Structure 1
Amino acid sequence: MNTQFWLFYIVLAVRYVVIAGLAFLVFYVFWPEKFAGRKIQALFPKQKDYAREVGYSFFTFVVFALYGILLSSDLVRPYTEIYTQISAYGWGYFWVSVFLALVIHDAYFYWTHRLMHHPRLFKAFHLTHHKSVNPSPWASFSFSPLEALVEGGIILVIAVLIPIHPLAILAFLLFMTVYNVYGHLGYEIYPQWLVNSRLGRWLNTSTNHNMHHKFFKGNYGLYFRLWDEWLGTTHVKYEETLQQLVSDREKQIAPEKQLN
């Protein structure tokens, strides 16, 4: 393994430990009682679940780091749309490219995710991730080697499809990690006003993905709910479950406001 590999690996691992670790400390170690009304599933994962999730995640970063080397190699880089001068497209497009990367990733994730749920592929590709029936933040990258190959492939797809700056790639990957940790948080932290807004209705939630882990089907999206809604794969009890969580939370917060 060369220096470049270890650089990629360390960045991936540190990003995961900091973001997932912070979420874990806040919601699972220091203040679980404070956020009890936001817990999606009442029970907590076991210590062996945390260990499994972290272990597989650190192997996933081996695969992701190899993708980083491949993307920056002379074998692949000339065939991508990666550019190095921000002035070539401007700062406006820089942020547009980050959003486009998220849209592409959302579509890629939905379809590869559904494919990995095919009975002939599920055990080899996706079963490892679904061992986290009640996921914690550490489950965000807990993939089998084959699923890690699939999940990491998005970076090649994005680099080939749209002009994108390396810093925009980093911004996309940072947002992806934060949202992935949120999706596996085990708590619903979106406020009721956002959930019920025009924008919020199309955003994926921690509740949405948690239900996917619990029931093993439906709710296949990542950032948005567009594909699930268009293709009728939203779990039938998703809206009811989400509204119950955010309504209960608002009821708990209201007395505190009155006291203040």
Structure 2
Amino acid sequence: MMLARQPFHFLDYTLGGTAALGLRYLLFAGIAWLLGYVLFKRQWFHRKIVAKFPKSSEVWREIGYSALSMLIFGLVGAATFYAYRQGWTQMYGKVGKYGMVWFWASIGCAIVIHDAWFYWTHRLMHHRRLFRWFHRVHHLSHNPTPWAAYAFSPLEALVQALIFPLLTVIMPIHGLAFGLFMMWQISFNIVGHMGYEFHPRWLMQSPLRYIINTPTNHIMHHEKMRGNYGLYFNWWDRLMGTNHEEYERRFSEVTTREKVLVKK
């Protein structure tokens, strides 16, 4: 005898998804804040890209907008799960259906697709007719902290969240692989907004500079309001000529500073 399928309660899935995302964000961003702004703020200050700390009011603004983004992500997540239940996506539950090679390859594909989605939507949101409605809130953070990673306006949060259903529709992806991709993207996003440069100084003298994006790249975007539109990789900015002209020089300046302890 087949068991009856459990009913889908959209509100329950939205609230559950919002809570799960919120707790994950609180954990990851909280650890980054604790490390960079409490425990090691003096020892790491020479690697602080913008050599000062933001006001508490700015941090609370980032937290508030991030909380709103979590709710929108939860709504889109619930809609994505509903689409999966209806058979409208290619998400699957048995690893053996596509094998372990595709399980791991699908995570890599998700990262590359997300990077392209981010670059082009991000660049589009800088259009003068769209910026105010979509992207201005995120750029209120000129010296961002880990809490700025999801500090979006509602419209930008929706654009960022649409990568979730997009991935499940355009390619097969296991639920666990999707979860690992989510862990990657939230971790990278928080590190990118943390305000410190962690890459070694030799990066800009190696071929890796054409591939890997750095926190310096994104923090400069917050400072300059133009250029440096990429997320995980630097290839779109290099191909399209949108790297800020001072990017490599700024990276070298940050990574060659002498270590000086701040008083507080």
Q: Report the TM range for the smaller structure's normalisation.
A: over 0.9
Aligned to 2:51: 42
Match of 2:149 among 124, 140, 160: 140
Aligned to 1:125: 134
Find the residue that maps to 1:115 and give its secondary structure.
helix
Counterpart residue identity of residue 146, structure 2 = P
Aligned to 1:181: 190
Counterpart residue identity of residue 68, structure 1 = G
What percentage of aligned pairs have identical amino acids? 43
Aligned to 1:6: 15
Aligned-pair distance for 1:194? Answer: 4.3
Distance 1:224 1:214, change over 3 A: same
Deviations 1:137-179 (A, max 9, x none): 0000000000011000011111111110111111011100000
Q: Is residue 218–residue 228 contact of structure 2 (8 Å, CA) maintained in 1?
A: yes
The whole-number CA distance in structure 2 between the counterparts of 1:75 and 1:208 is: 36
Match of 1:18 among 9, 24, 27: 27
The whole-number CA distance in structure 2 between the counterparts of 1:194 and 1:132 is: 27
The whole-number CA distance in structure 2 between the counterparts of 1:74 and 1:157 is: 11
Aligned-pair distance for 1:109? Answer: 0.4
Aligned-pair distance for 1:46? Answer: 0.7
Of 12-21 and 72-81, the range deviating more from structure 2: 72-81
Deviations 1:16-58 (A, max 9, x none): 1111111111111121110011000012111111111000101
State the TM-score, normalizing by the size of structure 1. 0.92
Match of 1:90 among 95, 99, 105: 99
- Equivalent residues in 2 for 1:1-260 (5 A)? 2-74=11-83, 77-248=86-257, 252=259
CA RMSD of superposed structures (Å): 1.6
The whole-number CA distance in structure 2 between the counterparts of 1:91 and 1:47 is: 46
The whole-number CA distance in structure 2 between the counterparts of 1:220 and 1:68 is: 25
Aligned-pair distance for 1:7? Answer: 1.7
* Count of matched residue pairs: 251
The whole-number CA distance in structure 2 between the counterparts of 1:197 and 1:105 is: 25
Runs of 4+, deviation exceeding 3 Å: 74-77, 193-197
Aligned-pair distance for 1:252? Answer: 4.3
Aligned-pair distance for 1:185? Answer: 0.7
The whole-number CA distance in structure 1 between the counterparts of 2:168 and 2:42 is: 44
The whole-number CA distance in structure 2 between the counterparts of 1:29 and 1:83 is: 42
State the TM-score, normalizing by the size of structure 2. 0.91
Distance 1:36 1:89, change over 3 A: same
Aligned to 1:256: none
Counterpart residue identity of residue 129, structure 1 = H
Mark the runs of 5 or more structure 2 residues left unpaired by the alignment. 1-9
The whole-number CA distance in structure 2 between the counterparts of 1:36 and 1:27 is: 9
Aligned-pair distance for 1:243? Answer: 1.3
Aligned-pair distance for 1:200? Answer: 4.5
The whole-number CA distance in structure 2 between the counterparts of 1:175 and 1:206 is: 15
Q: Is residue 71–residue 77 contact of structure 1 (8 Å, CA) maintained in 2?
A: no
Distance 1:77 1:103, change over 3 A: farther
- Is the helix fraction higher in 1 or 2? 1
Counterpart residue identity of residue 106, structure 2 = S
Counterpart residue identity of residue 36, structure 2 = F
